[in-house]
A and B are shown apart, each in its own frame.
Chain A
Amino acid sequence: MATHRRIDVSKVGDVSVVKFQDRKILDEASIQELGLELFGLVEHDNRKSILLNFKGVEFLSSAALGKLITLDRKVKSHKGRLKLCAIRPEILEVFQITKLNKVFDIRTDEAEAIAAFA
C-alpha cells in the first residue's frame, strides 16, 4: 500500500474515495506530489472507480486543475471512472469558467456521487 502525504484514501464499496490533506492546493511542489499520488491510484493500485471529495478544499490553482485533467485521462485509458464532489461554489465557478464542468462528472455530495457509480 502506497504512503500518501497529500491525500487520504478510503473505500466505500468498490469506490475509492479520495480526500485532500491541504485546504489550499496551490504550492507547485505539493501539486506535483499530489499528482503522483493520484496517478498512482490508477497506475499502481489499478483502482477503477475514483471519487475526489473536495470537502474542506478552499483554493485550487490552475496547476492543480492540470493534474486533475491528466488524472482523468489516465482513468479513462484504464477504463475506469472518475467523479468529483463537494466542491465549494467559488471553486465550482473555476470549473464552469474553464468549461471543465463538461469534462468532469461533478456531484453535489459524496452520497450522490457514490450512488452514481452504481
Chain B
Amino acid sequence: MEHRPAESGWNLEVDLPSQRGASRLVTDELLEQLGIHGWSPSDIFAIHLAAEEAIVNAIVHGNKLDPAKKVHVSCEVTPGLARIRITDEGEGFDPGQVPDCTADDRLEMPGGRGVMLMKSFMTRIEYNAKGNSVLLEKRHDAAAG
C-alpha cells in the first residue's frame, strides 16, 4: 500500500479520559500519520516523546487523574509541520518555576524531565497564561533536515 501525504494535512480533535495509558488513544494514530506525511523516524521519535510527556503531565499533574476531567488534544500534521495542543482542566502551573533537572543537585532526582525534553525535541513549545494548555510545534524544512 502506498501512502501519499494528504494535501490538506491531517487533523484530529479528541477528549481523553484522565486515566493512565490514555495517551495511546492519540499517539498511535499520530505516529501513523507522521509516517504517512513523510516525517523521518528520528522526528517521529521526537514528536512522540514530546506528546507523550505533555499528555501524561496533563492527566497526572493537571487533572490529577480526576475521572470527571478531560484532556483536550488537537493535532495537525502536514509534511512540513506537526502541531499538537494539549489542554487539561487543572489549575495550571508556571513552567518558569520548573527547576533545572540538569543542575548538579537535581541530576539524580527521579522526576522533572518532561518539560525539558519537550523543549529540546520540538521547534516551539508555548504555554498559555494559566499554564494548563501547551502548544507543541515541530517544523520540518530543508534547513532543519
Instruction: Tell me whether A62 and B117 are in contact (CB under 8 A).
Output: yes
**In the complex, what residues of B have CB within 8 A of residue A69's CB?**
108-110
For window 32-83 of chain B, which residues contact chain A by CB distance below 8 Å? 41-42, 45-46, 48-49, 52-53, 56
Which residues of B are found within 8 Å of A62, using beta-carbon distances?
A: 53, 111, 113-114, 117
Residues of B participating in the A interface, judged by any CB pair closer than 8 Å = 20-21, 23-24, 41-42, 45-46, 48-49, 52-53, 56, 101-102, 107-111, 113-114, 116-117, 120-121
**Chain A residues within 8 Å of B, Cβ to Cβ:** 26-29, 58-59, 61-63, 65-67, 69-70, 72-73, 89-90, 94, 97-100, 102-103
Secondary structure dominating the interface of A: helix
Interface centre among A29, A98, A102 (most CB of B within 10 A): A98
Known: A28-B20, A100-B107. 7 other contacts (CB 8 A): A29-B21, A61-B56, A66-B110, A90-B45, A94-B117, A102-B107, A103-B108
B48 engages A59 (CB within 8 Å) = yes
Is the pair A59, B45 in contact by a Cβ cutoff of 8 Å? Answer: yes
In the bound complex, do residue A98 and residue B108 qualify as a contact, i.e. CB atoms below 8 Å apart? no
Q: List 9 A-B contacts (CB under 8 A).
A: A59-B45, A73-B108, A90-B42, A97-B116, A98-B116, A99-B102, A100-B107, A102-B107, A103-B108
Q: Are B108 and A72 in contact (CB under 8 A)?
A: yes
Tell me how far the C-beta of A97 lies from the nearest C-beta in chain B, rounded to whole angstroms.
5
